């Protein structure tokens, strides 16, 4: 699957319904060289799953930061600029606490814009996942869609319907059918 994807040194978003493969794809990306930061807001980082997908991967360069609230996620993103030799940053899910704050009617747009700006300024591949909602047109949309349109340069939509899973690369329109295996998303 990874051969179809080109994550730039900028912000990329992966979105799709629950169980569509967002976290699995993020764990698949851990094969990159250098220091990887995995900011985990959903308690989704599973070391056994990582070892099954990457039996020879050294875990020495993977830093997992678990966040239990929006303020912790913001602080974790802010600290990234102090880290050296980053090769990849993953935030799974970037929108978990954003959605919660919206439901509580708390204004968090300015700090969310600041977080996305800080992530862009890292100049390394940054992959964020987003929860979704169904728009008026019946299509799934990422939470904070308007912000991702401004800040994400690469967007992947994962879908599952009637036992079929597909990945759509929005910038190119390429659709790739896949299955989930022990190795991750597989064509």
Using an 8 Å Cβ cutoff, are 112 and 148 in contact?
no
Alpha helices (H) in the chain, listed in sequence order = 22-28, 47-53, 70-79, 96-103, 109-120, 145-151
Domain count, the chain: 1
Phi, psi angle pair for 14, to nearest 5°: -120, 125
Q: What pLDDT, on a 0 to 100 scale, did the predictor assign at position 28?
A: 92
Q: What pLDDT, on a 0 to 100 scale, did the predictor assign at position 139?
A: 85
Q: What pLDDT, on a 0 to 100 scale, did the predictor assign at position 162?
A: 84
Evaluate whether residue 1 is within a structural domain: no
Evaluate whether residue 2 is within a structural domain: no
Q: What pLDDT, on a 0 to 100 scale, did the predictor assign at position 4?
A: 77
Q: What pLDDT, on a 0 to 100 scale, did the predictor assign at position 109?
A: 85
Positions of the chain with pLDDT under 70: 1, 32
Q: What pLDDT, on a 0 to 100 scale, did the predictor assign at position 3?
A: 75
At residue 128, the 3 state secondary structure works out as: strand
| Domain of residue 45, CATH code | 3.40.50.300
Q: What pLDDT, on a 0 to 100 scale, did the predictor assign at position 182?
A: 86
26 is in which domain, residue-wise? 7-186
């Amino acid at each position: 699957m990874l051969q179809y994807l080109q994550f730039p040194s900028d912000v990329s978003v992966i979105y799709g319904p629950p169980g569509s493969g967002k976290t699995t794809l993020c764990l698949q990306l851990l094969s990159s060289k250098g220091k990887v930061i995995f900011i985990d807001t959903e308690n989704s980082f599973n070391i056994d799953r990582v070892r099954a997908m990457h039996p020879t991967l050294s875990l020495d360069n993977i830093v997992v930061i678990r966040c239990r609230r929006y303020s912790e996620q913001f602080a974790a993103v802010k600290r990234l600029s102090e880290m050296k030799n980053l090769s990849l940053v993953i935030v799974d899910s970037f929108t978990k606490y954003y959605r919660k704050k919206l439901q509580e009617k708390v204004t968090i747009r300015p700090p969310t814009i600041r977080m996305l700006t800080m992530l862009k300024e890292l100049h390394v591949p940054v992959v964020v996942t987003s929860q979704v909602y169904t728009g008026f047109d019946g299509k799934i949309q990422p939470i904070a869609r308007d912000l991702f349109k401004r800040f994400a340069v690469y967007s992947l939509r994962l879908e599952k319907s009637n036992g079929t899973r597909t990945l759509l690369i929005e910038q190119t329109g390429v659709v790739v059918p896949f299955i989930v295996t022990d190795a991750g998303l597989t064509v």
